[in-house]
Amino acid sequence: MKFWQKIYLFSILVFVIIFNIASIMVIERSHNKMLRQAINTALSQNISIHSSVNAIVPILRIYDSIDYEQTVLTRIAHEFVDKNSDQGIYMDITDDSQRTVFNNADFPMPAARSELADLDEGSIHYILRDMDARTILFTTNITDINHKKYVFTYMKDVTAVYQDRLDQISFFAKVDLAACLLFMVIMFFVSRGLTRSIDRLNRTAKVIAQGNFSERVTLQSRDEIGILGSNFNEMAEVVEDKINELERNNEEKQRFINNFTHELKTPLTSIIGYANFLRTTKYNEELFVDGLNVIYSEAKRLESLSLKLMDLILLQKEQFQMELQHFGEIMAEIKPSLELMAKEKNVAIVLDCEQGELPLERDLIKVLMFNLVDNALKASAPAQTIAVHSYWRGGNYMVAVIDQGIGIGEADQDKIFEPFFMADKSRTRSSNGAGLGLAICQNVADIHGAVIRVNSVVRQGTTVEVVFAPSPAAESELHP
């Protein structure tokens, strides 16, 4: 059963129960009130008759005649009945021998009369009885006249009170039916309207489940369902971002595997080919030296590749302890090695480092700077210059490596941090590169909470900036 159907049926059920209970309570309250009024009226009439009889008791005592007593009582009863003949009033008077003195009832008196039990002077008993199709109210009291007990029974037809209750029940039944039909029509549209937003959420969820993660639900309401729709859209956006990230990671991993396989295949093919050639060829010193040089060069290339991969693996798995270090001191330590690297290619290196104390991992910073300078050397031509600057700017410590090399195209600048990516594959091959340097730099920067920015123009050079955001404590020590 759908949710709107549950709301629809439950609301109708609750309405029917509450409306009918309320109707019954109103009808019963009205009926009981009218019945109580009828009983009070009957008791008042009975008391009035009793007062009239008590008023003539002294006269009856003077005559002390049974016939006279009964004649007077009969006359009083006739006058009272004639006076109220149109109101369904009946009287019954019996003496202590249970002989009838007066009775105008058009129905037989019941044989068993429980209201007479324990009846004494000064009290009035009443009871309701169903007499055929009518309901009669019996009120009874006793009067002592000349030491004789006379039982006065005042009876009133209250059938109209019960008939009025039946009429009200019939009326409320019609009203109930009309109200239920109207409520059903209204609740049909209300329940469908309330759940329309849920239906939209359900349809959107199905679309997203089928792979269309960009689908969103549009809800205009600001109630709980509207908030749910907003949270649903936020959740869908997060899921879409995560899926896209997973897809990107999967593509990067696949490219990593493809590139890694390709990087291994080239040197291995050369090593196997030359080894097999030397194994099957007669000894010739010149051929042997050339072949061994190729095998050695390709083996060194494999060694470099393996070391770079080990660096990547260690950077992703190990936890590094940061300590406050002076960046300028680290650069002073590696300056001779950098100049030696540059000398082999006849490139000049200029270092200009402003003093800066940062939370750093010393060895990782050396790896970072070696790789940045190594990439700049690979892009540079002989007699060019590579500048390494570090300085404070806006509370951040900036490290810039600037070359005058061949530069990187705009299309490739977003991919240079991917493992094995090489913007100039021919140049990188000739320098035994594998496209892992900047990937290692990116991991080192992430470990330090730094950001790497690249600004490059083809055939004009490249500037790589590493932005360190030092902790407030470290910065306060540097700038008291």
157 and 290, same structural domain?
no
Specify if 213 maps to a domain. Answer: no
Q: Does residue 149 sit in the same domain as residue 243?
A: no
pLDDT at 293 over 50: yes
pLDDT band at 26 (very low <50, low <70, confident <90, very high): very high
Give the Cβ contact number of residue 396 at 10 Å.
Answer: 15
Q: Torsion angle, CA of 261/265/266/267, rounded to 10 degrees?
A: 110
Let me know if residue 87 belongs to a domain.
yes
What integer pLDDT is reported at residue 422 of this predicted model? 61
In a domain, 132, yes or no: yes
- Average pLDDT estimate for 435-450: 83
User: Are 82 and 10 contained in the same domain?
Assistant: yes
Whether 479 shows a pLDDT value over 70: the answer reads: no
By percentage, how much of the chain surpasses pLDDT 70? 90
For residues 187 and 461, what is the distance between their CA atoms, to the nearest angstrom?
73
Residue 203 lies in a domain: no
Q: What is the mean pLDDT of the chain?
A: 83
The three-class DSSP label of residue 18 is: helix
Q: What's the average model confidence in pLDDT over 91-95?
A: 89
Beta strands in 106-179 (DSSP E): 125-131, 134-145, 148-157
* CATH code of 24's domain: 3.30.450
Residues 278 and 405 placed together within one structural domain of the fold:
no
Mean per-residue pLDDT, 157-181: 92
Number of domains in the chain: 3
Lookup: tokens for 146? 């000349």
Same domain, 303 and 390: no
Domain check: are 159 and 244 in the same one? no
- Do 159 and 43 share a domain, yes or no? yes
pLDDT for 426 beyond 60: no
Within this chain, do residues 159 and 296 fall inside the same structural domain, yes or no?
Answer: no
Query: Is 120 inside any structural domain?
Result: yes
Q: Say if residues 56 and 220 touch (Cβ distance below 8 Å).
A: no
**Same domain membership, residue 304 and residue 386:** no
Are 348 and 278 in a shared domain?
no
CATH of the domain at 268: 1.10.287
- Of 299, 318, 337, which residue sits at a domain end? 318
Residue 225 lies in a domain: no
The answer to whether residues 473 and 360 belong to one domain is yes
Q: Which residue has the higher pLDDT, 18 or 280?
A: 18
Answer yes or no: is pLDDT of 428 > 70. Answer: no
pLDDT of residue 467: 95
**Of the residues 125, 150, 167, the one at which a domain ends:** 167
pTM: 0.49
Give pLDDT tens digits for 101-147: 899 888 888 888 888 888 888 889 999 999 888 999 999 999 888 77
Of residues 331, 338, 273, 264, the one with CA closest to residue 302: 264
Residue that finishes a domain, picked among 117, 148, 167: 167
User: What is the pLDDT at residue 86?
Assistant: 66
Q: For residues 275-298, give the mean pLDDT.
A: 83
Distance CA 271, CA 268 (A): 5
326/463 same-domain check: yes
Q: Could you tell me if residue 408 is inside a domain?
A: yes
Look up the CATH number of the domain holding residue 416.
3.30.565.10
Starting at the edge strand found earlier in the chain, the sheet holding 89-94 runs 100-103, 89-94, 148-157, 134-145, 125-131
Reference 422, options 264, 294, 263; nearest CA is 263
Cα Dmax for the chain: 175
Per the structure, the complete domain to which residue 287 belongs is given by 235-318
Q: Count of CB atoms within 10 A of residue 281's CB?
A: 11
Q: How confident is the model at residue 441 (pLDDT cuts 50, 70, 90)?
A: confident
Mean pLDDT of 167-180: 92
Q: Give me the mean pLDDT over the 152-156 stretch.
A: 91
Categorize the per-residue pLDDT at 75 as very low, low, confident or very high, splitting at 50, 70 and 90. confident
Q: Is residue 222 part of a domain?
A: no
Angle, to 10 degrees, between the axis of helix 437-447 and the axis of helix 285-317? 20
